[in-house]
């Protein structure tokens, strides 16, 4: 395996905050983060914040707005169970774009690390305390990259004809 890649500088396109069009649920979003946070609002029944989420222009704005989501305690465990599959689906939509897909595949077989500090360390490779995180976003990206690679093998392309 090659040297791990962090989502910084020229690799920012790997981030959920990267500006790109995401069309899901009959809506247009400006980033994976915006779509993810909108869906979280909907899951918790916070329609007011969901409506505001639709007008955010960046993933960072969506993330900041998500702090105001009125989470329902009884739905939190359910949300946590489905957040991985939701994020996987959104990341897969993002990499339907041919340019982004090529850039992802061009990362080769390197480990992809979401190199941000977070409270729980679920999506990123670090926690605020500096402990290793779970890097789930990195795992999703590597999984999507592998699916793209498998779909593009010569044997697979000839089966699709």
Over the stretch 90-128, which tens digit does the pLDDT of each residue have? Answer: 999 999 999 999 999 999 999 998 877 677 788 888 777
Query: What is the band of 153 on the pLDDT scale with cuts at 50, 70, 90?
Result: confident
Q: Give the integer Cα–Cα distance in Å for 82 and 50.
A: 18
Q: What is the pLDDT of residue 114?
A: 85
Q: What is the pLDDT of residue 146?
A: 97
pLDDT, the chain, mean: 89
**In this model, does residue 30 exceed pLDDT 90?**
yes
Question: Which has more confidence, 37 or 77?
Answer: 37
Q: What is the pLDDT of residue 61?
A: 95
Q: What is the pLDDT of residue 32?
A: 97
Question: Which has more confidence, 156 or 8?
Answer: 8
Q: How far is CA 7 from CA 19, 21, 30, 78, 117, in A?
A: 14, 19, 18, 29, 12
pTM of this prediction exceeds 0.85 = yes
Query: What is the band of 141 on the pLDDT scale with cuts at 50, 70, 90?
Result: very high
**In this model, does residue 155 exceed pLDDT 80?**
no
CB atoms inside a 10 Å sphere around CB 112: 23
């Amino acid at each position: 395996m090659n040297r791990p890649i962090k989502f910084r500088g020229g690799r920012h396109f790997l981030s959920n905050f990267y500006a790109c069009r995401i069309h899901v649920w009959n809506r247009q979003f400006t980033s994976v983060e915006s779509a993810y946070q909108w869906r979280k609002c909907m899951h918790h029944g916070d329609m007011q914040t969901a409506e505001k989420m639709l007008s955010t222009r960046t993933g960072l704005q969506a993330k900041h707005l998500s702090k105001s989501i009125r989470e329902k305690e009884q739905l939190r465990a359910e949300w946590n169970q489905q957040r991985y599959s939701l994020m996987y689906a959104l990341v897969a939509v993002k990499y339907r774009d041919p340019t982004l897909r090529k850039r992802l595949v061009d990362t080769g077989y390197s480990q992809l690390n979401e190199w941000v500090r977070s409270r729980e360390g679920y999506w990123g490779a670090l926690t605020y305390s500096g402990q290793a995180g779970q890097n789930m976003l990195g795992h999703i990206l590597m999984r999507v990259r592998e699916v793209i690679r498998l779909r593009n093998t010569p044997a697979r392309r000839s089966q699709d004809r």
